[in-house]
Amino acid sequence: MINVLVADDELPAVEELAFLLGRDGRIGTIHRASSGAEALRVLDAEAVDAVFLDIHMPALSGLDIARAISRSSNPPAVVFVTADEECALEAFELAAVDYLLKPVRAERLARSVGRISELMKDGAATPEMITVDLGGTTRMIRRDDVTYVQAQGDYARLHTADASYLIRVPLADLEQQWAEAGFIRTHRSYLIALNHVSHMKLAAARPTVTVAGAELPISRRHLPSVREKLETTRIRPQA
């Protein structure tokens, strides 16, 4: 059973979400909080597996709470709940399982609970999730699914196996933030995920790296560091 906390400064929103969660057989105890401070007190006193956080709470917002609990040794899964999409890009750095828009639909909530259930079943760490916009609709994608990132001015385009998404974050910022997750800079325009690399080709005129089937350039400036990184992961360059 999944023990959850619902935190929202609007009591009707708390009760509505608690009602929907209570209809799901995978949910156990449902704790409630009407402020950020109260949410932190509940988290300190109770065993909670997942928190559903309204972003726009006074004093301590849902983002503040997520940052606070991320520093704990065994943080609960985080699902953001909001009436709008304006904080979507602020939330992408936090390891949220999902991002729900109000009014929350039962079938959409069930998918979020399913994600939490799978994480608990596997005993896996909460995956880093990224909030993206696709045709005016906000959705969450796993950072692990990003194969490479392409610079587009002050924006970055995230490429996955089946789609690409534009986010308002410079490539240089992602290079720093995602270095520990296995992303390396290969070119002024590209950041690649090491776990999606199949091989590297050191052609004299045009060095390239193949990432999830896409052949991308390696600049002469970045070539030594790229080669070193790939060799440590046992990916041997081809002549």
Tell me how far apart the 2 most distant CA atoms of the chain are, in Å: 65
* Nearest CA among 237, 156, 221 for reference residue 192: 156
Q: How far apart are CA 60 and CA 55, in angstroms?
A: 9
Q: What is the pLDDT along the chain (239 residues), one digit of tens a residue?
A: 999 999 999 999 999 999 999 999 999 999 999 999 999 999 989 999 999 999 989 989 998 999 888 877 778 999 999 887 665 555 556 778 888 888 999 999 999 999 899 888 765 555 677 877 777 666 778 888 999 999 999 899 999 988 899 988 899 999 998 988 889 999 999 999 988 988 888 766 789 989 989 999 999 999 888 878 766 665 555 55
Domains of the chain with CATH codes: 2-141 (3.40.50.2300), 146-238 (2.40.50.1020)
Q: Cα separations (Å) of 170 from 8, 197, 220? A: 32, 22, 22
**If you search the block for the tokens 């090491």, which residue do you land on?**
194
Residues 6+ apart with CB under 8 A from 56: 9, 62, 82, 83, 87
